Amino acid sequence: MRNGARCLACVFGLALLVLALPVVSRADSVIYSDLGPGNSYDPSNATTNPADNWEVSGASSADGEELVAVPFTPSANYDLTKILIALSFFSGTNNGAYVTLDSDSSGSPGAVIESWTLSDLPTLGSTSTITSHQTLTSAPGILLSAGTTYWIVAMPDSAGASDTIDGWNFNSLGDSGTVAYSFDGTTWNTDGSPFILPALTVKGTPVPEPPTFAMLGLALAALPFFRNRFGARRQA
């Protein structure tokens, strides 16, 4: 009887442990980041001219249209939760930006998966840490698959036609890598890479792997067996 009780307790314990595993793993994790400590970045090169950093500008601006994009590849499956992006305002009518999460199309940004509109960006050179106006919150259910490349694309507005000029500040860690840029919103170029990367963090919650649910199923399936066995021993 004691052995049966122990077995039953073990199965219950295993079921509770497996149930707890997805809960623990649902905390936000960093999928990609080149931000420094305290979500810091380097604004020093763009205090007077956004072209000294990564310029993001509209077709009606003095510098003409320029879009900038950075790729990242998750190492596991995640539900996207937040993006921290070091965009700052320099000049123009609209103090804001338009940011998209795109799929990959032969090494360039492809179809838009999700989009956000930013407003009241900090003035270029006024801060070196991410503010709430540089933080994007994802809608539920945006799955980022392991080993799949995605792009974060920055532009001054959804049409790319404004007179706004923003600066996407450099990272403060000295990290370099692939950056794509476009002067018409259609044709992308990565010539010259690796470049100093613009500052960015992508966060998400890990998606539990199928084996986790399989373990839970096995534990629950075993409960009737041990319950019947324990009951039979009691009747004997």
pLDDT digits (tens, 9 = 90+) for 8-60: 444 445 444 444 444 444 689 999 999 999 999 998 865 556 667 899 999 99
- C-beta separation of 204 from 78 below 8 A: yes
Q: Is residue 172 part of a domain?
A: yes
Give the pLDDT score at 130.
98
In whole angstroms, how large is the CA radius of gyration of the chain? 25
Residue 161 and residue 93 in contact, taking contact as beta carbons nearer than 8 Å: no
Residue 192 zone, left/alpha/beta (φ > 0; ψ -120 to 50; rest): left
Domain assignment present for residue 220? The answer is no
Amino acid occupying residue 140 = P
Q: Are strands 87-91 and 29-33 parallel, antiparallel or unpaired?
A: unpaired
Q: How far is CA 83 from CA 12, 44, 60, 112, in A?
A: 39, 22, 27, 15
Q: What's the pLDDT at 197?
A: 97
Residue 226 placed within a domain: no
Q: Containing H/E element for 230?
A: helix 210-235
135: containing domain: 27-207
Number of H helices, E strands in the chain: 2, 15
Residues in the chain: 236
Long-range contacts of 157-162 (CB under 8 A, 24+ apart): 157/58, 157/94, 157/96, 157/97, 157/98, 158/98, 158/115, 158/117, 160/58, 160/59, 160/65, 160/67, 160/185, 161/58, 161/59, 161/60, 161/65, 162/58, 162/59, 162/60, 162/61, 162/92, 162/93, 162/94
Confidence at residue 78, expressed as pLDDT on a 0 to 100 scale: 98
On whether residue 20 sits in a domain, the answer given is: no
- 197 vs 3: CA distance, rounded Å: 61
Q: Which CATH number do you get for residue 186?
A: 2.60.120
* Domain assignment of residue 75, yes or no: yes
Beta carbons of 186 and 158 less than 8 angstroms apart: no
Whether residue 59 lies inside any domain: the answer is yes
Q: How many domains does the chain have?
A: 1
Residue 161 lies in a domain: yes
Low-confidence stretches of the chain (pLDDT < 70) are: 1-26, 45-51, 210-236
Measured CA to CA, the distance from residue 115 to residue 154 in angstroms comes to 10
213 domain-assigned: no
Identify residue 137 by its one-letter amino acid code.
Answer: T
**How many angstroms separate the CA atoms of 143 and 119, rounded?**
26
